[in-house]
Amino acid sequence: MELQSSDFLNSTEKNTIHPREMGNYSEGHICQCLNRLATARRNAVVTISGDRQKTGEQFVEEVLCLARGLLELGLRADDIVAISAFNSDLYLEWLLAIAFVGGIAAPLNYRWSVEEARLAMLVVKPIMLVTDESCQRWYSKLQKNGIPSLRWHVSLNFPSDFMKTWNVLTTETLKKYSMRPLPLNYCWAHEGVVIICFTSGTTGRPKGITLSHTALIIQSLAKIAIVGYAENDVYLHTAPLCHIGGLSSAMAMLMVGGSHVIIPKFEPKSALKAVERYRVTSLITVPTIMADIISLIRQKATWKGKESVNKILNGGGGLSIELIKDATLFFPRAKLFSAYGLTEACSSLTFMTLYDPTMEISSQHLQKVANTRYTSVHQSQGVCVGKPAPHVELKICVDGSSHVGRILTRGPHVMLRYWGQIPEKASDSSNESWLDTGDVGSIDEYGNLWLIGRVNGQIKSGGENVYPEEVEAILFQHPGVIGVVIVGIPDARLTEMVIACIQLREHWFKIPKTFILWREPFPVTTTGKVKRDQVRREVMSHLQSLPSSL
């Protein structure tokens, strides 16, 4: 089958993107990106996945073939397709093909246990399950326990011998259905739903977050405007497509027509190899990915990636000052951004530029970052996470005269609802249209959002509210600390005692075997020097009073 760009753009009955045919909602549809790929990027390589490379024209043709195959098989608008697999070009094709026919994709995390996957599918009731070899351990148990809604099981690629025993279809088999001519105009699911992303709530059960075409498109446009994704970008997929961060950035790159370099899952060696081989220009990270990348770069004799990478977007938690410094050292041409958001808001709410090589000398800029991110922590203001994207509206819901409160957001980026649930209305009717992020913070006079912590992570100690993130940010300032988690444990006197679990940089410093919380001023001489002997005597007295088991 040969796809002509003129057919794609002008035909009213064949292979075209057509005005919406269902419902009364926005014209936005994520498959509108196919138009650009089939024309402006027709002969350019847009996906590199293993030994497969596809031009824009080839990629669009594959999406349309799969969409036709799904229609011929019997998939219809509002049908849900669960996908659990490693990242690949085929994964992207499935997401778009499902949306094209008005279906709803429900990406599952391939790292889940079979029970977690089963619970998620029982929530959304998929009619089809698409998997690859990453989920082979699921099959026998799913066959035994069953998902009543499932009609079809499809192998993303070629099935293994084990999978063949379950009589699964394949992507290639479905594409062969498309040999029969069928009218193909994209349409919408009810309410414009396009995807259900899963997150775990306080119960630990997967919750399906219902997102619309409009939410994905507007989030992509924000990333394009702020991060600067462009047609000439070569984007490395470091995040799984089952997570909203990886999904939304992939969508942004599809919209601009950039090139996708896709590795099955993040591994430092394969990621750095891809950066050097394909001259990757942009990628996204979380702190652990950044730390792993930098650790491996330090071991390399030469590092070519510093010449090509010019955009890095970090999410999923703030980078320490040490990681920021290392990132600017090994990616000196990269503009480094940080984003704060959540799945319920279709990824990023706010953005902050941590480093811009075109604006300031590195040392000066890093000092500015350090001051911005950490000095105010001591003022109980939290950690600055930047300004909201143009489409995002934020407000702080406060009690009394405090300027600190729950962070709320509203706009087209907000989820429609949790799948299968009716959202509870806020007690304050003025907040009914706002999404409560579950975070606590404040907004300063310049419009910057300052994040203090999670509402449900708050620790009550000695009558004071302690947010773990506040304490963690302070401890992270020490160059010897590479990881820290603050927790509260029950305490008879304080209600909860704050405990720091700290990971130390190897060989950084020697660690005392015992720590004592000193509540009084240290005894000093008239010149201000600590009376170390007196401190020693009090320590010995204290230790002798402790039970011998300690």
Examine residue 368 and state whether it is found in any structural domain, yes or no.
no
User: Quick one: average pLDDT of 335-358?
Assistant: 95
Domain shared by 490 and 344, yes or no: no
Six-digit token string for 125: 């009731």
pLDDT, residue 395, reads: 95
57-71, 170-184, 510-524: which range is least confident on average? 510-524
% of the chain surpassing 90 pLDDT: 55
> Residue 21: inside a domain, yes or no?
no
pLDDT in tens, 39-55: 999 999 999 999 999 99
Residues 174 and 305 grouped into a single domain: yes
For residue 378, name the pLDDT band (cuts at 50, 70, 90): very low
User: Which ranges in 375-478 belong to alpha helices (H)?
Assistant: 468-475
350 and 471 in a single domain? The answer is no
Q: Residues 350, 387: contact at Cβ < 8 Å?
A: yes
Angstrom distance (rounded) from CA 208 to CA 214: 18
Q: What is the pTM of this model?
A: 0.81
The domain that holds 290 is classified in CATH as: 3.40.50.12780
The identity of residue 183, as a single letter, is: P
Identify whether 433 is part of a domain: no
pLDDT at 483 (0 to 100): 75
Instruction: Tell me, yes or no, whether 402 lies in a domain.
Output: no
Among residues 289, 322, 355, which one ends one of the domains? 355
Judge if 345 and 476 occupy the same domain.
Answer: no
Question: How many independent structural domains does the chain possess?
Answer: 2
Tell me, yes or no, whether 385 lies in a domain: no
Task: Share the mean pLDDT of the chain.
Answer: 83
The pLDDT value given to residue 10: 37
**Tens of pLDDT, residues 488-529:** 877 767 778 888 887 777 666 666 666 666 767 777 765 566
Average pLDDT over residues 108-134: 92
Give the separation between CA 380 and CA 387, rounded to whole angstroms. Answer: 19
Instruction: Report residue 254 as tokens.
Output: 């599809």
CA-based radius of gyration for the chain: 26
Q: Given a cut of 50, is residue 7 above it in pLDDT?
A: no
Residues paired with residue 130 on neighbouring β-strands, in sequence order: 83, 154
Q: What is the DSSP string of 454-470?
A: EGGG-EEETTEEE-HHH
Structural domain ending residue among the three candidates 355, 376, 398:
355
Give the mean model confidence (pLDDT) for residues 385-409. 91
Token pair of 375 as six digits: 């000095």
What mean pLDDT do residues 476-490 have? 78
479 and 350 in a single domain? The answer is: no
Beta partners for residue 347, in sequence order: 342
For residues 348 and 467, membership in a common domain is answered with no
Other residues' Cβ atoms within 10 Å of the Cβ of residue 27: 11
Same domain, 332 and 476: no
Q: Can you give the residue range of the structural domain that contains 70?
A: 31-355
Is 374 domain-assigned?
no
Residue matched to tokens 């996204």 = 284
CATH number for position 489: 3.30.300.30
Domain boundary among 355, 378, 412: 355
Residue 71 has pLDDT above 70, yes or no: yes
Place of tokens 């059960």: 205
Q: DSSP states of 243-292 as a string?
A: SHHHHHHHHHHHHHT-EEEE-SS--HHHHHHHHHHHT--EEEE-HHHHHH
Edge-first strand listing for the sheet containing 464-466: 464-466, 459-461, 495-504, 481-491
Is residue 441 included in any domain, yes or no? Answer: no
How far apart are alpha carbons 95 and 78 in whole angstroms?
14
Do residues 198 and 333 share a domain?
yes
Do residues 66 and 189 both lie within one domain? yes
Least confident of 131-135, 373-377, 388-392, 469-473: 373-377
Q: Tell the residue number behind the tokens 């896709």, with chain if given.
A: 262
Percent of the chain exceeding pLDDT 70 equals 80
Q: What does the pLDDT look like over 249-280, one tens digit per residue? A: 999 999 999 999 999 999 999 999 999 999 99
Any domain includes 202: yes
